[in-house]
Amino acid sequence: DAGITQSPRHKVTETGTPVTLRCHQTENHRYMYWYRQDPGHGLRLIHYSYGVKDTDKGEVSDGYSVSRSKTEDFLLTLESATSSQTSVYFCAIRGASGSLDTGELFFGEGSRLTVL
């Protein structure tokens, strides 16, 4: 158990409303990621973070923003949700054993977002 919690797990919202998904970790890992998973696509990177206040864009970052003000929390925000952002969102952390980077990704349980 890598100690990753995503919230909310399920959300239904309307087009144009803002939505924030939260990823919380208890392991103090440096790297955190947000992915979306859609049928017919592999997991696609939205944004990732390599430390507090250090973030970078992934391949599908348009329409999304992130923030990381504390090591343990990585927030994903949809400023104005659209139907194309209906998806399952996964947070992941890059594992480490002590100071050794294992490179293994540990995933949260996912947040299912429906935009009507």
Partner 1 sequence: KNQVEQSPQSLIILEGKNCTLQCNYTVSPFSNLRWYKQDTGRGPVSLTIMTFSENTKSNGRYTATLDADTKQSSLHITASQLSDSASYICVVSAAGTYKYIFGTGTRLKVLA
Contact residues: partner 1, CB under 8 A = 4, 31, 40-45, 48, 50, 58, 90, 92, 94, 103-110
As given in the structure block, the two tokens for residue 66 are: 């992130």
HSE of 78, CA atoms in CB hemisphere, 13 A:
25
d(CA 94, CA 17): 31
Minimum CB distance to partner 1 smaller for 45 or for 77 = 45
Question: Do residues 54 and 69 touch, judged by C-beta distance below 8 A?
Answer: no
Minimum CB distance to partner 1 smaller for 93 or for 115 = 93
d(CA 84, CA 23): 22
Minimum CB distance to partner 1 smaller for 31 or for 74 = 31
Least Å from the CB of residue 105 to partner 1: 7
Least Å from the CB of residue 110 to partner 1: 6
Minimum CB distance to partner 1 smaller for 80 or for 100 = 100
As given in the structure block, the two tokens for residue 113 are: 């977002």
Least Å from the CB of residue 59 to partner 1: 9
Least Å from the CB of residue 5 to partner 1: 11
d(CA 100, CA 97): 5
